[in-house]
Amino acid sequence: MKYVAFHNLGCKVNSYELDIMQQLLQEKGYQVVPFHEKADIYIVNTCTVTNIADRKSRQMLHQAKKRNPQAIVVAVGCYVQTHLEQSKLDEAIDLCIGNDKKKDIVEILEEYLRQRGQSPAQHPDKTLDCTTVLDLAQHKEYEEMTLQETADHTRAYIKIQDGCNQFCSYCAIPLARGRVRSRKTEDILAEITGLVQRGYKEVVLTGIHISSYGVDFEEQGVYRGQSYLIDLVEKVCAIPGLCRVRLGSLEPRIITREVVDRLSVLPNLCPHFHLSLQSGCDATLKRMNRHYTTAQFEESVQLLRQGFAEPAITTDVIVGFPGETREEFQETVAFLEKISLYEMHVFKYSKRADTVAARMEGQLTEKQKSERSEVLLSMTEEQSYRYRQKYVGRWAEILLEESKEIEGQEYLVGHTMDYVLVAVPGGKYAAGEIIQTKVQKFLNKEILLGE
């Protein structure tokens, strides 16, 4: 029996793909063990969204080799896709598998073992061809995979598309993931139906750029405004027994009056919307090659607030983008104070090779980026507290997800429809149940306490 350990870095798409790779290997008889234990094979699903992600990917690969020098260490995904030559030269990496080949991991791994003619306990042969990486700039097909189960038995992330055509000036993801490739609607619906039948209560529709879902369905790849994503959401929400549908990150431009009118009548759609902003300054947005203005972003926020009662709206913000002056940053601060979102994910600009922004003048220091990051992190802590405070004294519906010990007491913790975390005392309920609870107070900075 071969023992295999997995580690995931990066986004929810990576998590989905890792779950399927694990599922495929288990079906072939591989025994999964925790990553910190000794294994015959270590598989690291890598990320390259920032320099820190690159470094963490390398660290986990080296940790695996150090844990068992005779093990096969497999680097999979975005870091491999964008740093292939470095990966091939890395002594800790025995096998490289790029994006869009993850579904073939069993065949690739077993062919590698066959060529070696050795067991996983013996030292790998570095003379073998150990790379399986496609040119995603030319690859047009969606990599079809079907999830049957996840470690979280209440919520499942469902990948509906891959790739991105936006080419923001700071982003290497189009290089790592290729152009937009959308999954067939019938395959998505079949996967979700199967998960609901196995007891899952909530699904999250995710991808690299889900607002582009269906662009590649158009003749010659030209998008003519058809709302393929919204059509899909309506069909997913109609699946019998599915209690909650949550959406991944959305492009602000997709939020129109018509879209809000269609979404707001879906009773099981979670009123939780992540609209990617990146900067609250129009000049910076233009340098980023974002295709909207702050006024258009604000209009999208207002449309959602008109269509839904107190929706949770979250965003991403990059600080320290090349050329960002003190005045431009203050424009961002003023804009974010004005629209007051539920949460912001704040990132310090990270220079990525082969992107336009990496060649721009006016690169800021790490000290400047950190100072600006702290300003926005303090703001989002205050705004998030204010948003969650509305629940104190109200009834809330929560999907119970896991047991957690907090200050010596056992609780069951779950999320509301708008992704607020609430805990109830353990013992009476079980994970997977949806319950109504009256919120009493803040249990700590991040979690509310229900009766």
Do residues 77 and 105 make contact, with C-beta atoms less than 8 angstroms apart?
A: no
pLDDT of 183 above 80: yes
Q: Tell me, what's the pLDDT at 225?
A: 53
Q: Tell me, what's the pLDDT at 50?
A: 93
pLDDT of 165 above 70: yes
Mean pLDDT on 180-193: 95
Q: Please tell me the distance from the alpha carbon of residue 346 to that of residue 55, in angstroms, as a whole number.
A: 19
Average pLDDT value over all residues in the chain: 91
Q: Tell me, what's the pLDDT at 143?
A: 80
User: Tell me: the pLDDT tens digits for 225-274?
Assistant: 568 999 999 999 999 999 999 999 999 999 999 999 999 999 999 999 99
Token couple for 304: 């959602």
Looking at the chain, the number of H-run helices and the number of E-run strands are: 13, 18
Nearest Cα to Cα of residue 32 among 8, 60, 63: 8
Specify the DSSP element, H or E, that contains 401: strand 395-406
- Beta-strand pair 421-425/448-450: parallel
Token couple for 368: 């400047």
User: Tell me: the pLDDT tens digits for 59-115?
Assistant: 999 999 999 999 999 999 999 999 988 998 899 999 999 898 899 999 999 888 888
Please tell me which residue, 358 or 426, carries the higher pLDDT value: 358
Q: Please tell me the distance from the alpha carbon of residue 42 to that of residue 65, in angstroms, as a whole number.
A: 8
Q: Rounded to a whole number, what is the distance in angstroms from the first to the last CA of the chain?
A: 48
User: What are residue 55's phi and psi, to 5 degrees?
Assistant: -65, -40
Residue type, 85: E
Q: Please tell me the distance from the alpha carbon of residue 398 to that of residue 336, in angstroms, as a whole number.
A: 29
Q: Is the dihedral of CA 140, 145, 146, 149 positive or negative?
A: negative
Nearest Cα to Cα of residue 342 among 393, 301, 307, 395: 301
Most confident of 84-88, 210-214, 219-223: 210-214
Q: Tell me, what's the pLDDT at 123?
A: 46
Nearest Cα to Cα of residue 450 among 392, 399, 402: 392
Token couple for 218: 């158009």
Tell me the angle at which helices 185-197 and 228-237 cross, rounded to the nearest 10 degrees.
Answer: 20
User: Tell me: the pLDDT tens digits for 356-391?
Assistant: 999 999 999 999 999 999 999 999 999 999 999 999
pLDDT of 447 above 90: yes
pLDDT of 116 above 60: yes
Q: Tell me, what's the pLDDT at 131?
A: 64
Note the Cα 354 to chain centre separation in Å: 23
Mean pLDDT on 274-293: 97
pLDDT of 181 above 80: yes
Residue type, 69: P
pLDDT of 124 above 50: no
pLDDT of 119 above 50: no
Most confident of 75-84, 152-161, 170-179, 335-344: 335-344
Q: Tell me, what's the pLDDT at 141?
A: 76
Residues 266-278: b if buried by 16+ CB within 10 A, e if exposed: eebbbbbbbbbbb
